[in-house]
């Protein structure tokens, strides 16, 4: 199905099932421990051996030699695979560093050997017996040192394809120089880890020359293509299965060492092998969010209107990596005639930087939305009003292109009213609650909406059961449920009569999970397949497909009504189709999502301890397909934003090039006690230009802007401005107001 014009009325608009706050279909399996994750597939490989990966002890250099003699002779060992056994494996489309093979070391904890044994403990013990002689080379590990000379660089990531390194509109320098009110400030965000609950894990099994992997991966089609290239296995001899994923956040968009080494280990051992990356390798061997150093310059008239917007961001990555696209939202969020954004990348020898939790907008808004608050203070204006007066209904860099839907002002106004913003003290450090200094902060949230091809197969059987098959994944976002809701709405059956099968490369290729593109696109693909199934049903039952209605398990037209199951009484009906978007869709309108984030914090006047007291997000994101799971996504994003603001930071050992706090004991993330009451409001809207579902993504919108709202609340509470994340008490304790 080609989607090239605005969606008109369709069966989804009935909202009998779609749009309802429905419990997660997979919830009972996950809460009971019966959802089969990759490492737990005892049902399909009860004889699986255990793999244990050895990571490099240096960040850059070569391996002179490797002695595996003791490891091979250790109890229970079945096979040992060394990186010196083979040439570097081919580099796939989505990988920056070689995942295995050869003597060259590109980053710390790069996979250098795999031990396969009868038990996990035996594999781990044997891996510790491998002796590796390295030739270390001095690497580049300090972004602050490298940033001044970092050149402009173009990002070509899946989410920001061909992002230009420098964009200009108007005459920024001249406008900034003339502006009566100016801001020029530097902000930093640290390296961060995904820290998902389920580490990267794979079970690999060879059946002759055919390989099947049960793995934890967000993008099945990408994984199949990249794994085939890396292992030089024909795609038709490869199957990738990933029905349940315990969190990914971008780290599992691409194949990593676990799936490659599990496959190599299974080949060497002659039996299935399962492998999970130990937590330190999740931080150092896979991907992370790169640190940024951002400079923001704002020029405004005295009534608060921006006349000049400049945003420069520098980040580091391996030679073939991309910069963090932290200027993405600055190109679109606020009006202003004169604009300059630039991305720069320093070549570094740290592990690969790549997509993580709303890449681009998340760290970019951490800086931009503090800058907007600082500008508001210089102007003597309310921070909410400064954002409102700079709203735009068209793309600021392409004024001929309007936004398909943009209700940022409504998000801010409704949020301010619900949060009690009028009670905020404009002067910082004035509100106390016992020993606590109390402040409020606001930030705009922004995240683009991306249209991606997505397909599905739908089957109707003689019992009236509708089965949906698509390689779409569920990373904890509720894909099973919204896909079932879509199929039920389109075919007129109860939700209990829909079976959803996901995460298998034998199924039609979907959009996959990432970039908050999964929900809207995957359900649009199911919609397209259901349209084709409806046509088959109508034809089989002798109806005119244009006049037929599907509801209550029946097919109706005029005074005639037939049970849906009758259409498949002699044989199942199967339909396959997908959504495909017109090439000029992006030229017609800019599709984005918006939010107003409000936070209240308390900062202890004696200790400097910061506690978030309450949080509110008002979201504008098209039709909400399932308010219950959407709320869950947004509050999860708000928690991640709180973590980014107050605690998340990978500490870099700048001598040896690795992340020191590479486990969940020392990489701090929020816990229940850190997060109080959270409220989420969804504006009632649809976006007919997004898809037949008239929905958009919403999950990552919950992250974008939250950290800055926390930072701004801390400033309002204490009068101390911190521009370097995370905002730990050592950065402002000495500047706290004197204790009375």
- Answer whether 23's CB lies under 8 Å from 628's CB: yes
- Answer whether 503's CB lies under 8 Å from 471's CB: yes
Helices (H) then strands (E): counts for the chain = 16, 32
Rounded CA separation 367/386 (Å): 16
What token pair was written down for 431?
A: 């509100």
Enumerate residues 6+ apart whose C-beta is below 8 A from 265. Answer: 49, 51, 79, 81, 114, 116, 204, 273, 275
Candidates 400, 576, 700, 734; catalytic one = 700
Whether 159 sits among the annotated catalytic residues: the reply is no
- Answer whether 20's CB lies under 8 Å from 630's CB: no
Q: Parallel, antiparallel, or unpaired for β 292-300 and 306-317?
A: antiparallel
Helix ranges, 358-499 (H): 361-379, 383-389, 408-419, 479-491
Rounded CA separation 46/380 (Å): 68
Closest among 612, 611, 668, 661 to 638, alpha carbons compared: 612
What token pair was written down for 102?
A: 């050869």
DSSP-derived 3-state class of residue 20: coil
Residue with tokens 């405004």: 300
Residue with tokens 């898809």: 691
Beta bridge partners of 114: 53, 81
Residue with tokens 């006049």: 547
Q: Quick one: DSSP state of residue 739?
A: P
Rounded CA separation 368/189 (Å): 12
Enumerate residues 6+ apart whose C-beta is below 8 A from 109. Answer: 55, 56, 280, 281, 283, 284, 285, 351, 658
Rounded CA separation 419/430 (Å): 19
CA atoms within 13 A on the CB side of 485: 31
What token pair was written down for 463?
A: 């019992």
Closest among 2, 172, 117, 36 to 580, alpha carbons compared: 2
Cα–Cα distances in angstroms (integers) from residue 697 to residues 123, 187, 373, 394, 625, in the given order = 42, 28, 27, 20, 10
Closest among 355, 353, 321, 277 to 109, alpha carbons compared: 277
Q: Quick one: DSSP state of residue 590?
A: B
Rounded CA separation 219/520 (Å): 15
DSSP-derived 3-state class of residue 627: helix
Beta bridge partners of 288: 353
| C-alpha R_g of the chain | 27
Residue with tokens 């939250």: 706
Tell me which residues are annotated as active site. Answer: 700
């Amino acid at each position: 199905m080609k989607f090239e014009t605005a969606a008109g009325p369709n069966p989804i608009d009935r909202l009998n099932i779609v749009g309802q706050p429905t419990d997660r279909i997979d919830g009972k399996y996950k809460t009971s421990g019966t959802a089969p994750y990759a490492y737990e597939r005892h049902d399909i490989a009860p004889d699986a051996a255990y793999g244990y990966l050895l990571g490099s002890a240096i960040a850059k250099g070569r391996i002179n030699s490797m002695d595996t003699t003791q490891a091979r002779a250790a109890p229970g060992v079945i096979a040992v695979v060394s990186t010196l056994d083979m040439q570097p494996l081919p580099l796939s489309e989505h990988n920056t560093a070689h995942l295995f093979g050869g003597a060259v070391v590109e980053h710390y904890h790069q996979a250098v050997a795999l031990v396969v044994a009868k038990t996990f403990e035996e594999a781990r013990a044997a891996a510790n017996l491998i002796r590796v002689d390295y030739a270390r080379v001095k690497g580049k590990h300090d972004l602050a040192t490298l940033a001044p000379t970092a050149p402009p660089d173009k990002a070509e990531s899946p989410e920001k394809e061909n992002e230009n390194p420098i964009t200009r509109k108007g005459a920024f320098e001249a406008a900034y120089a003339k502006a009566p009110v100016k801001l020029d400030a530097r902000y930093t965000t640290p390296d961060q880890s995904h820290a998902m609950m389920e580490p990267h894990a794979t079970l690999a099994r060879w059946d002759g020359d055919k390989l099947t992997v049960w793995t934890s991966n967000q993008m099945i089609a990408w994984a199949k293509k990249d794994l085939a290239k890396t292992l030089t296995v024909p795609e038709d001899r490869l199957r990738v299965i990933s029905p349940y994923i315990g969190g990914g956040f971008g780290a599992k968009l691409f194949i990593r060492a676990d799936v490659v080494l599990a496959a190599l280990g299974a080949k060497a051992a002659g039996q299935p092998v399962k492998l999970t990356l130990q937590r330190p390798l999740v931080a150092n061997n896979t991907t992370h969010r790169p640190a940024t150093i951002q400079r923001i310059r704002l020029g405004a008239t005295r009534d608060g209107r921006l006349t000049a917007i400049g945003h420069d961001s520098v980040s580091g990555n391996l030679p073939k990596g991309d910069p963090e696209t932290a200027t993405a939202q600055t190109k679109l969020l606020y009006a202003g005639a004169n604009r300059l954004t630039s991305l720069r990348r320093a070549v570094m020898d740290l592990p690969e930087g790549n997509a993580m939790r709303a890449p681009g907008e998340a760290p970019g808004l951490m800086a931009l939305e503090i800058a907007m608050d600082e500008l508001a203070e210089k102007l003597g204006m309310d921070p909410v009003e400064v954002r409102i007066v700079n709203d735009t209904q068209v793309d600021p860099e392409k004024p001929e292109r309007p936004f398909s839907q943009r209700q940022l002002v409504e998000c801010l106004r409704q949020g301010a009213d619900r949060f009690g913003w009028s009670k905020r003290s404009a002067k910082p450090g004035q509100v106390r609650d016992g020993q606590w200094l109390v402040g409020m902060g606001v930030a705009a949230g922004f995240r683009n909406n991306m249209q991606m091809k997505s397909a599905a197969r739908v089957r109707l059987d003689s019992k009236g059961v509708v089965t949906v098959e698509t390689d779409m994944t569920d990373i904890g976002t509720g894909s099973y449920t919204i896909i079932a809701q879509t199929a039920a709405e389109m075919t007129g059956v109860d939700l209990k009569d829909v079976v959803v099968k996901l995460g298998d490369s034998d199924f039609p290729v979907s959009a996959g999970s990432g970039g908050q593109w999964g929900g809207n696109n995957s359900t649009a693909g199911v919609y397209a397949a259901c349209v084709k199934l409806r046509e088959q049903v109508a034809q089989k039952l002798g109806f005119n497909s244009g006049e037929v209605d599907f509801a209550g398990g029946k097919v109706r037209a005029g005074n005639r009504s037939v049970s849906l199951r009758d259409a498949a009484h002699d044989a199942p009906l199967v339909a396959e189709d997908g959504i495909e978007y017109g090439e000029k869709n992006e030229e017609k309108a800019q599709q984005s999502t918006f939010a107003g984030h409000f936070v209240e914090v308390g900062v202890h006047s004696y200790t400097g301890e910061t506690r978030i007291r309450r949080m509110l997000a008002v979201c504008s994101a098209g039709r909400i397909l399932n308010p219950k799971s959407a709320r869950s996504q947004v509050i999860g994003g708000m928690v991640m934003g709180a973590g980014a603001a107050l605690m998340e930071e990978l500490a870099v050992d700048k001598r040896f090039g690795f992340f020191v706090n590479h486990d969940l004991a020392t990489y701090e993330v929020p816990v229940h006690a850190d997060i109080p009451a959270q409220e989420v409001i969804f504006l009632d809207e649809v976006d007919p230009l997004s898809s037949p579902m008239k929905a958009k993504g919403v999950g990552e919108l919950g992250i974008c802007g939250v950290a800055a709202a926390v930072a701004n609340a801390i400033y309002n509470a204490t009068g101390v401005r911190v521009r370097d994340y995370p905002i730990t008490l050592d950065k402002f304790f000495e500047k706290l107001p004197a204790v009375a």
